[in-house]
Amino acid sequence: MSMTRASNTRPSEVFRRIASSTHELRCREMRDRAQAIEWQVRQVKQLREAELLWQSIGRRYESCTLDTFHAHLPAQQTVLGQLREYAARMRQRVAEGVNVLLIGPSGAGKDHLLAGLVHVALAEGLSIRWQTGSQLWLHLRDAIQGGCERQAIEELVRPDVLVLSDPIPPHAEPSNYERSILYAIVDRRYSHLRPIWMSANVASRQQADERLGHAVADRLRHGALVLGCWWPSYRRSDSA
């Protein structure tokens, strides 16, 4: 005759385990729900920030991606390929503070290429600030008049990536003051490993160094991806 051994577990212990398991399950569900809500809020915030960014950059560049850049010449294909490599490791490159400098004549599509990088950076959740040269100096002039120069510089240091579209005045030599302000921005970001992506309308690398100032150029070039866009203007080919 076989006998079944009675369980030593008391009913109260069974109920305690069930209650504990149920509590853990509910806590997990609440955490998952909270994380889902947090993710949705973050996505909405990123979409809103992206919308505001493209409004400030201009709608012309919103559709400019690396895929839509027409690279017919070998030099164009080389530049595009190196930017694709940077984009493929976007978070790592930005964390390392690797600058991107695109230099060459006006109309070569340098800002198109920078906008293409911006699309990738936004998809990675990185914060971006885009400033044209005219916007930069107007922003700083207003800040100086309002006694908020330091705050204005900090606003340009804070984002993960600062994009400067041709910050060099096109038809005049930069003043000593402009060079000192540009140095302050570049040096602060350099110290914090926060990259700058810059386009510059120049005829040569030497001219870029001379107009930026050697101290600024030295920091921008250190460990940077420096690419020469030495090909004819797309604008001229469009109008031909």
Contact in structure between 75 and 231 (CB atoms under 8 Å): yes
Residues 227 and 137 in one domain: yes
Q: Does the residue 6 lie in any domain?
A: no
The boundaries of the domain holding residue 105 are: 65-239
pLDDT, residue 238, reads 52
Q: Does the residue 27 lie in any domain?
A: yes
CA-atom Rg of the chain in angstroms: 26
Q: Which residues lie below 8 Å from residue 79, measured CB to CB, with a gap of 6+?
A: 71, 102, 113, 227, 228, 229
Structure tokens given for 67:
């895929």
Residues 119 and 235 in one domain: yes
Contact in structure between 158 and 191 (CB atoms under 8 Å): no
Across the beta sheet with 225-228, the strand order is 128-132, 161-165, 196-201, 100-104, 225-228
pLDDT, residue 168, reads 80
How many domains are contained in the chain? 2
Structure tokens given for 74:
């070998």
Residues 114 and 198 in one domain: yes
Q: Where is 169: in which H helix or E strand? A: none
Residues 35 and 83 in one domain: no
pLDDT, residue 184, reads 92
pLDDT, residue 152, reads 84
Beta bridge partners of 86: none
| CA nearest to 126, candidates 152, 89, 101 | 89
pLDDT, residue 240, reads 33
Residues 80 and 145 in one domain: yes
Residues 43 and 99 in one domain: no
Q: Which residues lie below 8 Å from residue 103, measured CB to CB, with a gap of 6+?
A: 110, 199, 200, 202, 205, 208, 226, 227, 228, 229
For the chain (length 240 residues), average pLDDT per consecutive 10? 52 65 74 67 62 76 94 97 98 98 95 96 93 83 75 91 87 77 93 97 90 92 96 69
Residues 45 and 75 in one domain: no
Q: Does the residue 1 lie in any domain?
A: no
Residues 79 and 191 in one domain: yes
Q: Where is 192: in which H helix or E strand? A: none
Q: Which residues lie below 8 Å from residue 227, measured CB to CB, with a gap of 6+?
A: 79, 82, 83, 100, 101, 102, 103
Residues 27 and 115 in one domain: no
Residues 36 and 149 in one domain: no
pLDDT, residue 19, reads 63
Q: Does the residue 3 lie in any domain?
A: no
pLDDT, residue 49, reads 66
Contact in structure between 100 and 114 (CB atoms under 8 Å): yes
Residues 49 and 74 in one domain: no
Regarding pTM above 0.85, the answer is: no
